[in-house]
Structure 1
Amino acid sequence: MAVFLKANWEHIIMVNYEIDPQILLPFLPNDVELDLFNGKCYISLVGFMFKNTKLFNIPIPYFGTFEEINLRFYVKRKEGNQIKRGVVFINETIPYKIVAWMANKLYKEHYTVVPTKHELQINNAAQSIKFEWFLDKRWNSIYVTSELKSNRMKNESLEKFIYEHYYGYTKIDENNTEEYQLQHPSWNIHKVLNYTVDCDFETMYGQPFSILNQTQPTAVFIAEGSLVKVNWKRTKLQFSDEGN
């Protein structure tokens, strides 16, 4: 299967909020359903580094390394006896117009462009990573300090649920959905020691998500990351009202 995109994803912060499922229903693609953990619905504010990006194995000069901030929620799709667990992006934010244009044009994604930056500090025992993005005349940010050592995620844990969704679903319109697959190994995670979140969710993502401005995260995780591959093939899902 042809690989469209390869990149190293590093320092992957997940700030996870419990959310009312009704808020997400208007954004839910056809033919998938919300994926719950212990009966609860989650949405994640994500920050990470995109490094050494290649399209069809060709490096992107000057624009191959950048920060990404996104807001995503979790879905699943039943296909025969298989359950495909995936994510839906409300928005993905990066600093380069050409990269966003390509993703939106080729894949009908929801990329927007704002200035971004990051700061990484590492000592013998801990690391600190801060992602920032400039919106509405001010810098928003996610900041995490964690242990330097990492460990495997525990089975049946919230962190494993959050990180291990290997499909993406894009809502093309009310009746059409596209499915694509991501490839990466199971990531190790670092124990989070401290964190701060400064995000204007309403300005960034719209009024439906203003509730997150007054919501405390349920949990914050950070993973090491790895090489990630995104397959070129996208499956167009036919209309079905089963499972929705």
Structure 2
Amino acid sequence: MATKTTFLTADWRYLLLANYPVEASVLRRHLPAGVELDDWNGTHYASMVGLLFEDTRMLGIGFPWHRNFAEVNLRFYVRRKTAAGWKHGVVFVKEIVSKPAIVLVANTLYQEKYVALPMRHRIEASPTGELTLDYNWKIKGEWNYLRGTAAASSEPMLEHSEAEFLAENYWGFTRRSATKTSEYEVVHPRWTIRTVSDFSFHCNVAALYGSEFVETLQQEPRSVFMADGSAVKIMSGEKVL
């Protein structure tokens, strides 16, 4: 087996996850070949995620004006069976950044679903330590947002919990065509999390993700939390089908 190389390193910080039960039928058209939908206690999830990339480097090189930026994505959860056991991971429906060069590289090399839109964000600590998280993106002339207030203190994720199922995924899977799939490994330590209050979300779902996601993302999320994040490594991708 060829030695994997590190394609990208970064610090992922302030990951705000809003998690929605979703019907399997909504996800199947986005499912890569050779992987299957994963579930937690019989429920499939889609998550809206906002996060910061900091000190981003591709192949060890940090490019000017592309080191620090926000991303908002919609993802769902899958697994792939191998001789060594199950690989649990995510599939991205769409990833939003403000950097066209990031879009070009990710979509060309990884066949991901990145789009470039105007974005802004605000991360602000209160005197008592709570964190205001505010991720914004603009589509069709309107600002959309993902917002919440994270608790001042972090706590470890419980084993076999919903949060662990949603946050501890170390593989990304990409649908290259109806019959071809790539995977890449994401390496990071186990994260701590914070409870989130005052959550609000406004999005032109149909324009961004298609009408099939409107019902899912218009309901109240089953859960919302913030992962503190860490340094991460994204390894070079490989074709599995």
TM-score by length of 2: 0.96
Aligned to 2:209: 205
Write out aligned runs for 1:120-135 (5 A): 120-123=123-126, 124-135=128-139
| CA-CA distance at 1:235 after TM superposition | 2.4
Aligned to 1:48: 51
Q: Does 1:18 align with 2:28?
A: no
Aligned to 2:142: 138
Aligned to 2:183: 179
Work out whether residues 23 and 208 of structure 1, in 8 Å CA contact, stay in contact via their aligned partners in 2: yes
Q: Does 1:98 align with 2:89?
A: no
Looking at structure 2, the residues matched to 159 and 108 of structure 1 have their Cα atoms a distance apart, in angstroms, of: 28
Write out aligned runs for 1:1-244 (5 A): 1-123=4-126, 124-232=128-236, 234-238=237-241
Looking at structure 2, the residues matched to 18 and 148 of structure 1 have their Cα atoms a distance apart, in angstroms, of: 27
- The one-character-per-residue Cα deviations of 1:152-181 (angstroms, maximum 9, x if unpaired) are 101111111000110000000010000110
| CA-CA distance at 1:81 after TM superposition | 4.1
Structure 2 residue runs without a partner (length 5+): none
Work out whether residues 202 and 213 of structure 1, in 8 Å CA contact, stay in contact via their aligned partners in 2: no
Aligned-partner residue type, residue 61 of structure 2: I
Work out whether residues 133 and 147 of structure 2, in 8 Å CA contact, stay in contact via their aligned partners in 1: yes
Looking at structure 1, the residues matched to 228 and 33 of structure 2 have their Cα atoms a distance apart, in angstroms, of: 33
Looking at structure 1, the residues matched to 110 and 129 of structure 2 have their Cα atoms a distance apart, in angstroms, of: 41
Work out whether residues 18 and 218 of structure 1, in 8 Å CA contact, stay in contact via their aligned partners in 2: yes
Looking at structure 1, the residues matched to 145 and 123 of structure 2 have their Cα atoms a distance apart, in angstroms, of: 13
Looking at structure 2, the residues matched to 133 and 102 of structure 1 have their Cα atoms a distance apart, in angstroms, of: 20
| CA-CA distance at 1:193 after TM superposition | 2.4
DSSP 3-state at the match of 1:17: strand
Looking at structure 1, the residues matched to 142 and 41 of structure 2 have their Cα atoms a distance apart, in angstroms, of: 37
DSSP 3-state at the match of 2:224: strand
My pick for the range that moved more, 184-193 or 208-217, is 208-217
Which contiguous aligned blocks of 4+ residues in structure 1 show a shift greater than 3 angstroms? none
